[in-house]
Every structure is written in structure tokens, then in C-alpha cells.
Chain A
Amino acid sequence: MCTICGCGEGETRIEGESDAPGSTAHAHDHAHEHEHSHPHDHDHHRHEHAHAPGVDPARMVAIEQDILTKNNQYAAANRARFDAAGILALNLVSSPGAGKTTLLTRTLEDLDGEFPLAVIEGDQETSRDADRIRATGAPAIQINTGKGCHLNAHQVGHAVDHLAPEPGSVLMIENVGNLVCPAAFDLGEAHKVAILSITEGEDKPIKYPDMFHAADLLLINKIDLLPYLEFDIERCIGYARRVNPRIRILPVSATTGEGMDPWLRWIRLNRDMRQIGLVPDAVARRANA
């Protein structure tokens, strides 16, 4: 249970955290904890009534904190946890309809049996995507963000508690379909992977530069449709490199399987890198004893 939770995300629901769908029981828990840890708010009103306004001299206090400090702290905790367990966490981001879930189910099927896989699904509502993922045999948990337009590190931390991915897993976090907000919220992932489908237009990287700037890998999806569309793949790659000169780009089709091999290889290599130098559990326990 998270005890330092100061979240204002009353709409968030994580599968398995409450029995009734749509219930906000969990969020209420947090809200109460939060109120109790700041009795200050209540005192303040009494204070204002007891004294004339302006009695307290105003003063300046330095803060010098990033607005996203809290999210970044949760993200750092998630990252430390993934590192310790040799888990490769990938944050998959795209517009709605770019084919994230189809690409993901195909990827899970192709990697089945190689190493443990786990999925966190973020959507505003419904658990349809988590159901699709579970059909592949991979454990999945759905986060419904309610009014939220992105996943944050705190929600992911809770989801990881429930999902309990095995050491050495590849954890796929499918973010809410949105190319704007998820760019700013670090979840503790190793890499952001942006997915752009060729039905969306080749100029998306410069229309939504923040996301393509934040991503390490860009998958250009639905390339099986190239003969039917006027999509200039070279121009798209050029735009993506404008906003992010270091981005790696792989054209894929989740439907035909074309281009899947380099993507799977990228996952395997990145996962392998995270196993190197890892302290095995037993050794860690002995070291801590």
C-alpha cells in the first residue's frame, strides 16, 4: 500500500483493486490518507477567521522544484525496481488507432516461451485491451485513467504491485492513445517506443514533436497498406529525425509480420543487456543478511 500517496487521481481504477467496476474505493483510500496527513488545511480556515487578514507578514520561500517532481520520484522508484529484477520496461505510445494493441499481441505471440512477458494496459475506459492481451497467455492488468489523458508513474507502480512481473521479464506498458500528454510523464521505463501508422500521415512527427523527441524507437506500422496510400516513408523518417536526430526507426506490419524480426531482436538485445551484471536474488539476499 502506498503511504506517501498524495495523488489527486480520484478517477483512476486499477483492475483488481476494487470489486465493483466503476467503484473508486481505492482512490478514496488515498484521498483520506492524504487529508489526514495535512490537517493544516482545516486549521487554516480557523486561523483566517480568528485574525484580521494581513496580520501575517508576507515572505518569500524558495522552492526550486520541477513541477513533475512527484511523478519523477515514483518513476525513479519504478526504475530501481525494474533494474534490480532485470526487467525491461517499455512504454508504448501512439495516437488512438495506430495499431498498438495488435502490434503488442503479435509481439507477445512471437516472443512466447523465450522469457516471461507482462503487460500494463492504459485506457480511459474498459478492460477490452487487457482482455485481448490475456488471450495471448501473457499476464495483463488494465489501468483505467478515467478523466486522465496519460498514465503516470504512481499508477504504474500500483499496477506492478498487482502484476508482480517475474525477474527477467519484458514488461510492456501500453500508454493511453495520445501523442501529447504521455510525453511528459516518465513511468520508469527503459525506453519509450512510439508507434505511428501510415494511415495517419507522414508529418505526425513534426505535428507532435514532443513525443517523437522523447522516444528512442519509432515503429512505422501498417506498412502492408503502403500500396494503397500516398505515404512517403522517407519523408516521414526525415521529419522524425528533425525532432530527434538519435531516434531509431523500424517499418513493421503487425498484420503480415513484415519487419517484425528487427523489432523482436531489438527487444531481445535490450532485455539481455539488463541481465548482464545483475545480482541474482539469492546473492542479494545473502548480501543483505
Chain B
Amino acid sequence: MHEMALCESILQTLESEAVRQSFERVSVVWLEIGALASVEEEALRFSFDVVARDSLADGARLEIIHTPGVAWCMHCARPVNIERRFDPCPDCGGYQLQVTGGDEMRIRELEVK
């Protein structure tokens, strides 16, 4: 989707954190990407390499931690795991689901020098 814009945003965060936490190079970036975040991993990796070129994260490795999609089923009155937004409840088959997790895109931590 908008992986290039996401990577630019990641780089901005790295640059401001570099000043705040005094580091000069980033060698590994751990990202947490939810199953419902609509992020294409392949495109994200490609964009990151492009965006990071000649920056403090040039050549940095992306480690992606996948988190499951979680929704509250109003019918079953409990949380259930879903793969996609329009999936039915795996137990009752209903669509009265409120997504409660799995749409996050977070920078969790970095390995820096």
C-alpha cells in the first residue's frame, strides 16, 4: 500500500531517536506488524532498503514480528483470532466482530552503534 511513506516515517523516527538516545548507526530494526495492518512485507523490505540508503540505517536489517488479528465477537462475547478484517468469527460464523488488535505497526527496538 504506502510502504514507501511508512519507511520514510520509520527513518524519521530513527533520526530523531539517534539524537535523543545518542547513537550513530542502526544495524537492526525490529518492527511489530499486525496481521490486519495491510502492510506488504516484501514491499516494506524493498522500500526500506531504498529509503535507508546513505542514511544512518544504510544496510540495516529489518526484523518483522508478526502479531495476530484479534477481534471481540459480540455474539460469543469473547476475543477470537481472525486473519482478515471480513473474516467471520471462527466459532459462531457471525460477522459482529470488533477488531481489538492486529492493526498495529510499531517500531519495537533497535540494535545500534
Interface segment, one of A53-61, A98-106, A263-271: A53-61
CB distance from B88 to the nearest CB of A (A): 8
- Tell me whether A63 is interfacial, beta carbon within 8 Å: yes
In the bound complex, residues from chain A placing their C-beta under 8 Å from that of B25 are 44, 56
- Whether A245 contacts B85 by the Cβ 8 Å rule is no
Task: Provide the residues of chain A in CB contact with B53, threshold 8 Å.
Answer: none
A181→B106 contact, CB < 8 A: no
Cβ contacts B79-113/A at 8 Å (1 or 0 each)? 00000111010000001111100001111111111
A210 pairs with B109, CB closer than 8 A: no
Q: A8's contact among B1, B8, B19, by CB below 8 Å, is which?
A: B8
List of B residues within 8 angstroms of A8 by Cβ: 8, 11-12, 51
Q: Mark B46-90, 1 if CB is under 8 A from A, else 0.
A: 000001000110000000000000000010000000001110100
Identify B9's interface contact among A40, A61, A67, A243, CB under 8 A: A67
Interface size range of chain A in the complex: 35 or more
Whether A58 and B85, one on each chain, are in contact in the complex, defined by CB atoms closer than 8 angstroms, is no
SS class, residues of chain A in contact with chain B: mixed
Residues of B within 8 A of A63 (CB): 13, 17, 107-110
- The reply to whether the CB of A234 lies closer than 8 angstroms to some CB of chain B is no
Which B-chain residue is minimally distant from A56 (CB atoms)?
A: B113
Say yes or no: A57 contacts B113, CB within 8 Å: yes
Chain A residues with CB under 8 A of B86: 205-206, 209, 239, 242-243
Question: Within 8 Å CB of A210, what residues of B?
Answer: 36, 38, 85
User: In the complex, how many angstroms separate the beta carbon of A177 from the nearest chain B beta carbon?
Assistant: 14
Residues of A within 8 A of B85 (CB): 209-210, 213, 243
Across the interface, name the chain A residue whose C-beta is closest to B56.
A44
- Interface residues of B, count at CB 8 A: 46
Other-chain contact of B96, A56, A71, A245 (Cβ < 8 Å): A245
Smallest Cβ distance from B21 to chain A, in angstroms? Answer: 5
Residues of B within 8 A of A60 (CB): 109-112
Q: Which of A87-95, A118-126, A144-152 contacts B (4 or more CB under 8 A)?
A: A144-152
A38, A63, A66, A205: residue with the most chain B Cβ atoms closer than 10 Å: A63
Would you call A279 an interface residue if the criterion is a C-beta within 8 Å of the partner chain's C-beta atoms? no
- B16, B84, B96, B112: the one contacting A61 at CB < 8 Å is B112
Q: Is A167 an interface residue (CB 8 A)?
A: no
Identify which of B5, B105, B111 contacts A148 (C-beta below 8 A). Answer: B5
> Given A63-B17, A67-B6 in contact, is the A180-B38 Cβ separation under 8 Å?
yes
User: Which of A41, A59, A67 has most chain B Cβ within 10 Å?
Assistant: A67
B112 surroundings in chain A (CB, below 8 A): 58-61
Q: Give Cα distance in the complex from A214 to B2, angstroms.
A: 16
Q: With A47-B24, A70-B13 in contact, is A183–B105 under 8 Å at CB?
A: no
Q: Which residue of B lies closest to A44 (CB)?
A: B24
- Smallest CB gap from B112: residue in A: A61
A61 and B12 in contact, given A67-B6, A181-B1, A209-B85 (Cβ under 8 angstroms): no
CA–CA, A247 and B16, complex, Å: 38
Given contacts A180-B1, A239-B86, 11 further A-B contacts (CB under 8 A): A41-B56, A57-B113, A59-B112, A62-B108, A63-B13, A66-B104, A67-B31, A69-B13, A213-B99, A242-B86, A245-B97
Q: Which residues of A contact B (CB under 8 A)?
A: 6-8, 38, 40-41, 43-44, 47, 56-71, 148-150, 152, 180-181, 183-185, 205-206, 209-210, 213, 239, 241-243, 245
11 A–B pairs (Cβ distance < 8 Å), ordered by A: A8-B11, A59-B112, A59-B113, A61-B21, A64-B106, A67-B10, A70-B9, A70-B13, A149-B1, A209-B86, A245-B97
- Closest 10 interchain pairs by CB? A209-B85, A8-B8, A181-B2, A56-B113, A242-B95, A67-B105, A63-B107, A206-B86, A6-B12, A180-B1
